[in-house]
Copies of this chain bind each other. A is one copy, B any other.
Amino acid sequence: MQSTVEVKLSERSYPIWIGTGMLAEQLALAYERIPNWKHAVLIADQSVSPIADQVAEALTSKGIRCDVNGVPSGESSKSVDQLSRLWDAMLDQRADRKSVVVAIGGGVIGDLAGFVAGSYMRGVRFVQIPTTLLAMVDSSVGGKTGINLPKSKNMVGAFWQPHAVCIDTTTLQSLPDREYLSGLAEVVKYGVILDLELFEYLEAHAESLVQRAPTAVEYIVRRSCELKAAVVAADERETTGLRAILNYGHTFGHAIEARTSYGRYLHGEAVAIGMSMAGELAKDLSLWSNKELIRQTVLLKRLGLPVTLKESISTEDLLSAMQLDKKTENGVLNLILPTCLGHVEVRSNIAQSAVSAAIDHCR
């Protein structure tokens, strides 16, 4: 069984195919969709090289010349060094404007390979094969690509849409537990910001999801992609402000990641703590009810996610890292805060003391 979510962006529209054990069929669809495809540059997380081999075999059988570039696992690969190495490698592999970059891995690979695709010769075509839950529900939808600077995450990059996204949920089976659970944080986020029904589904199926029950997993992946696709279609380049709601929990989360050198917490874990901080802040400002905040906290915990900061980072340090956030404009910090389950608002000019207090509540 396979379903399709269409991301509607006029001439940049593309399909996300979601299925279980369908990768070869999905690649055949991608091949049909992309004209004049004769060369593929695979950029793959080294930890999923068997999947990369499978993709290379399927593409080679279509007569496509394949070059495979392995990238070390982990956030530290979203670096200027990897970017520059891949640019040089593509040139050596005689990639040209008709070549197609195929990203195989999690969010790190999608972001890195997407920026490589968006900048090589000022942009070549791009297919995503996400192999982590986080990448399936979040980073493979929306066209945001980029790398980190030493002092701040996702600070440079491009908006670059893929031509197709192939999601085969069987690739999740080998994912380490912690990484799988981390992806659920973004699914909780969609529930809180946009969809009470999804939030209630998560509450009702928390244990099945922790155990990776295929039906539940396919449902939340599809629903998350649909929700994100709708937001992205309405605000592709984050200009109307709508897309900013996707950053719920992320301003805190990114600061936590930056101040722990991207090593202590997985992205979803930092976002879970960030949502807890944003939730506390919303409650303190009387925007959100304590009852709903508790539902968020309980759900995150049932999904095996952290809700408090265990590291001894000073509140001052976190605040200063938050000031470097991309959503800061002319020095004013904008935060996404829930008002009820399924709805959030953008707030600016929040007193620093209130932000500090929310951080301190989550220790």
Q: A residues engaging B (CB < 8 A)? A: 36, 38-39, 80, 83-84, 87-88, 91-92, 94, 96-98, 118-123, 144-146, 149-152, 155-159, 237, 323-324, 326-331
Contact = CB atoms under 8 A, between A and B. Distances in A.
A98 B36 CA distance: 40
A91 B151 contact: yes
26 contacts: A36-B330, A38-B330, A80-B83, A80-B84, A80-B87, A87-B155, A87-B156, A88-B151, A91-B151, A91-B155, A91-B324, A92-B151, A94-B324, A96-B328, A96-B329, A97-B326, A98-B329, A118-B158, A121-B155, A121-B326, A122-B144, A122-B156, A122-B159, A123-B158, A123-B159, A158-B158
Q: Which of A80, A144, A237 has the most CB of B within 10 A?
A: A80
Contacts of A121: 155-156, 326
B91 A158 contact: no
A150 B149 CA distance: 22
A97 B155 CA distance: 11
Tell me the number of copies of this protein: 2
A126 to B, nearest CB: 14
Nearest to A326: B121
A273 to B, nearest CB: 24
Contacts of A92: 151
A346 to B, nearest CB: 14
Nearest to A151: B91
Contact of A149 (B87, B158, B328): B87
A10 to B, nearest CB: 12
A329 B331 CA distance: 46
Nearest to A120: B156
A96 B150 contact: no
A120 B155 contact: yes
Given A91-B155, A96-B329, A123-B237, 15 more contacts: A80-B83, A87-B156, A88-B151, A91-B149, A91-B324, A92-B151, A94-B324, A96-B328, A96-B331, A97-B327, A118-B158, A119-B157, A120-B155, A121-B155, A123-B158
Contacts of A119: 119, 146, 156-158
A157 B88 CA distance: 13
Contacts of A94: 323-324, 331
A155 to B, nearest CB: 6
Contacts of A87: 80, 149, 155-156
Given A121-B155, A122-B159, A158-B119, A330 B96 contact: yes
